[in-house]
Amino acid sequence: MVAFFPPLHYIDSMNTQIIAKTLAELGHETRLEIFRTLVKAGPEGLTIGEIGNRLNVPASTLGFHLKGLISVGLVSQEKQGRSVICRPELDILSLVIRDLEAECCTDQSVSHLKEEDA
């Protein structure tokens, strides 16, 4: 089984570099389509061949793009016999979104306090 286990700092607080890299991987059309295809397939995932067939992407291109998604933890892989199953890791995407949401409107309260002091 080949899986991604994010380091503790990844989970506790995501820094800007980690968020940017994760979003950058989804910012490429082919990688986004791969991830969407895996999300639609659900937790059982798909073999690399199934992904390639669904998206009509050559194996070498698919391997390149999967490597990027795996590097940031958005996709995990598990070897089952002669097949490699790819699964979406929605927890990582959720961490990124939650981290961004946590910052929502934080400047608003600071600017509101400055107005009161004036």
pTM for this predicted structure? 0.79
The angle at the Cα of 4, spanning 84 to 47, to the nearest 5 degrees, equals 20
Between 1.10.10.10, 3.40.50.300, 2.40.50.140, 2.40.30.70, what CATH number should domain 8-117 receive?
1.10.10.10
pLDDT digits (tens, 9 = 90+) for 8-64: 344 455 688 889 999 999 999 999 999 999 999 999 999 999 999 999 999 999 999
Tell me the pLDDT band of 113, cut-offs 50, 70 and 90: low
The set of residues, in sequence order, having a beta carbon less than 8 Å from that of 74 and lying 6+ positions away, is: 22, 25, 26, 35, 88, 89, 92, 93
Sequence spans of domains, the chain: 8-117
